[in-house]
Chains A and B, each alone.
Chain A
Amino acid sequence: MSRRLGGLATDLLLVALVALAFWLNAQLWRLPAAGEGPRPLYTAPGAVSNLRPGEVLRPVRLLVRGPDGLWRRLPDPQSQAAVTLWRATVQLAAGARVTELEHAPAGRPAAMLGQLQGPAVEILLPAPLPWASWLAVWRSEEAGAAPLASLPGGGPAVDRLLLFASGPGTEGEAPQLQLAAGDASGWRRVGLPGGEAAVAWLAALKAAQGEAMALEPVAAPAGLAVEADFLGTAAPAAASVAAPRLAEVRPDQEGLGHAVFGDMALVRRVELVDGEVLFTDGRATLRFPPEGGFVLERQASPGGPDRGLGRALLAAVDEVNHLGGWPAGSRLLAVEPLPRGGGWQLDFAAGFRGLPLVAPAEKAPSGPPPAEFQPVPPAAAIDVQVSPAGVVQRIAWHLEQVEGRSAAVRLAPLPAALAAAKAAGGLPAGAALADATLAWEAAGAAGASARPLWLLTLSDGRLLRLPAAGAEGG
């Protein structure tokens, strides 16, 4: 009897445990996804979401100097020759042990481009990071390397590299590396080990000569400050290029909303009178302007420790990987400190055949914009604002997909464009022209062809745009 009762009790216990398992399972299904749990990924059509930091922190400028003594610009960083040269350069530069920069003497250290005799590579990086950070970024791109979770801090900030052969560039010669801060606050020159890395670098440099665009000293109009080593891309008066024809990428509002908010049940939708649609949960606002793209704004985070520009860059890359993704050829164009509350604005741009593809210019903040020269920051394809603590507060994402090429556009040579800039008021006070490169500006209307422009880099790191279209070509 007691055994039978014991058996019955055990059966009942088993039934109760099975029922409890079902009930708990149902509870798990009933709970909605938490808004701050693991974030779903959203990738816009035509974009990719798995870029590593090193892939978007490519050089802004890559110049090579061959045995003929001419400087050339490698326009397309994705080309085989450019990739080979970049890898060889990084491999060679990684041998440099640098702990501090010397205070710069009078004049910019880079003002020696014209004095070099042998082969050389000059690299302008998009952000001033410690040398150890750059090495960590480049190592993370090697096959099998772990994802980059943090960047080592400390040490001098570097954004300009010059590798050159001390002699005529014969094999077996040990090249030298000169590191410099772009603001000319310091520089350092170190010898590099020779050997196989140096031989590979010289070979890659020679191979890249054929793909490079020739540069020439540009006679700037009187009164327009130009740095001593300023070299402009040689563009003959009759040069014409085929412009990319663009199609707007419209993000999926619901999909992106899920990636931002998790559960859309608590999110309010607002249809504005100008056609903009926004979603908000009180903490974050996701806007879809009628001109395309999206803007995500988060409430300012409480002040945390300043984790530096390196952390901000990693946070921005991670955020764009999660929301929207990257168009082909994306790279960081410029970094600007935010005026209020600290932090940085990071301007990323898509690319077309190696040239940056930037969004239409914003209007000048006050007064009528000059007809030919627009002294406003370029609105790049993706702008990210990051707080000092490394929290992404705002991301403005606007991409246009290249559909094809339209009729050729005749380019206005740089000297003519600079003359127009001078006539329109000149450069901002105290700034000198450090670099000029061709770029494409999205037209702001779907199906329209992009417009060529000269993207000017000033000595203080600011970017300006200057129309580069001449008359229509055939």
Chain B
Amino acid sequence: MDWAKARLWLILLFAALDVYLLVQVRAEQAAWRSWAWVPPGVANSASSGQAAVRQLAEAGVLLETDLPASAPSLPLWTVRAQPADGTTLARRLFGADGWTAEPWPGSPGSYTYVDRKAPQVRLSVLREGPVDYQEPAGSGGAPAPEAARQLADAFLRRLGWPPGGELAYDGLDPAPREGSGLVVHYVEMFQGRPLFGGYAAVEVRAGEVTHLEGVWLEVSGRGGSSRPVMPAEEALLRLAADRGANPAQPLRVREVRLGYYSPFYRVYEANRWDVAPVWRVRLADGSVFYVNAYTGLLEK
């Protein structure tokens, strides 16, 4: 056998096979990229640094915040709403015998707990999980942001809700109803990431907590294996394309956070559901968007 000649033929054969396989890999990656984001092999079109900022500006995205440097692989998580123990919450707020319970008509298991001393102070605990507290506002000026946050923190500690896990501070907004006040937002945290469907919003007016609404989600397991998620730059490009942004009418991005998304209505309609990783994008005008970090689709 002429080894030199055979070796030459083998080199040609494997070179041709490599070219074929390379074309196949490229085609598969392109097909998958149109469906879900794939980590780029060598170069990233939306790479970090100045080039990324320039590319975003050309797409109509003005950054007013720093972007997260990395995007890890993440799984889907399966969650369910965790109903609260209404009796315990009422005892903590109103005292051992300081309340009466009124059942919700047409919703067995849901109750409104009324303060015996001040019947307009009410705590509603729905069997699906949501908690709602209402107290009439007193007179006085708007609280300072730091004071509002301290009042909200203290109220949640007194209420002892949620029973476990971690709520993290998630910003302040002016109160939506008339009069001056602030809403302190909290978001549920799971394994160090926000789970945006679990939250508490505490309204503070004139030195009093006047309203609380909240939902707590319990993570019951993984919904699948970990998958790469797209970087924040890529998510912003998808959002800009969806919103029709351009340099003349840019999106002014105030905050970008990686977490998990759950529509608010799920607690009322579902027993258990999966949540997907999302980039939450908050704009300067206050609007908030959730971009699916697997697919780049806007969650609605």
Contacts and interface: CB of A to CB of B under 8 A. Distances in A.
On whether the two chains bind one another, the answer is: yes
Interface of A: 7, 10-11, 13-14, 17-18, 20-21, 24-25, 27-28, 31-32, 34-37, 262-266, 268-273, 281-283
Interface stretch (B16-24, B45-53, B83-91): B16-24
Contacts of A21: 14, 17-18, 21
A266 B230 CA distance: 13
B264 interface: no
B11 A35 contact: no
A10 B274 contact: no
B295 interface: yes
Contacts, number: 100
B32 interface: yes
21 contacts: A10-B7, A14-B7, A21-B18, A21-B21, A24-B24, A31-B32, A34-B31, A34-B36, A37-B31, A268-B223, A268-B274, A269-B223, A271-B271, A271-B273, A272-B270, A272-B271, A273-B269, A273-B271, A281-B295, A282-B298, A282-B299
A270 B266 contact: yes
B18 A265 contact: no
A34 B275 contact: no
A31 B18 contact: no
B276 interface: yes
Contacts of A13: 11
Contact of A270 (B15, B17, B21, B270): B270
A272 B266 CA distance: 8
B25 A34 contact: no
Given A18-B14, A21-B14, A31-B32, A273 B295 contact: no
A7 B11 CA distance: 13
- Across the A-B interface, the 7 shortest Cβ-Cβ residue pairs: A24-B21, A17-B14, A268-B274, A34-B31, A35-B35, A270-B273, A282-B297
B21 A28 contact: yes
A271 B11 contact: no
Contact of B270 (A7, A37, A271, A283): A271
A76 to B, nearest CB: 44
Nearest to A18: B14
Interface of B: 4, 7-8, 10-11, 14-15, 17-18, 21-22, 24-25, 28-29, 31-32, 34-36, 38, 76, 78, 223-225, 227, 266, 269-276, 292, 294-295, 297-299
Nearest to B24: A28
Given A27-B25, A271-B270, A282-B276, 13 more contacts: A10-B7, A18-B14, A24-B18, A24-B22, A27-B21, A28-B24, A34-B31, A35-B35, A266-B276, A268-B273, A270-B270, A273-B270, A282-B292
Name B's interface SS. Answer: mixed
B109 to A, nearest CB: 12
A270 B28 contact: no
Given A25-B21, A31-B29, A266-B36, A271 B272 contact: yes
A383 B298 CA distance: 29
Contacts of B11: 10, 13-14, 17
Contacts of B14: 14, 17-18, 20-21
A282 B299 CA distance: 7
A36 B34 contact: yes
Nearest to B25: A27
A271 B31 CA distance: 30
Contacts of B275: 268
Contacts of A283: 295, 297
A282 B276 CA distance: 10
A28 B28 contact: yes
Given A268-B223, A271-B270, A20 B29 contact: no
Contacts of A18: 14
Nearest to A6: B4
Contacts of B17: 17, 21
B270 A34 contact: no
A260 B89 CA distance: 45
Nearest to B225: A265
A283 B36 CA distance: 12
B270 A11 contact: no
A28 to B, nearest CB: 6
B276 A268 contact: yes
Given A265-B227, A268-B276, A11 B7 contact: yes
A36 B224 CA distance: 20
A230 B132 CA distance: 63
A133 to B, nearest CB: 33
Contact of B18 (A17, A268, A269): A17
Contact of A28 (B4, B7, B25, B35): B25
A266 B295 contact: yes
Contacts of B276: 266, 268, 282
Contacts of A37: 31
Contacts of B24: 24, 28
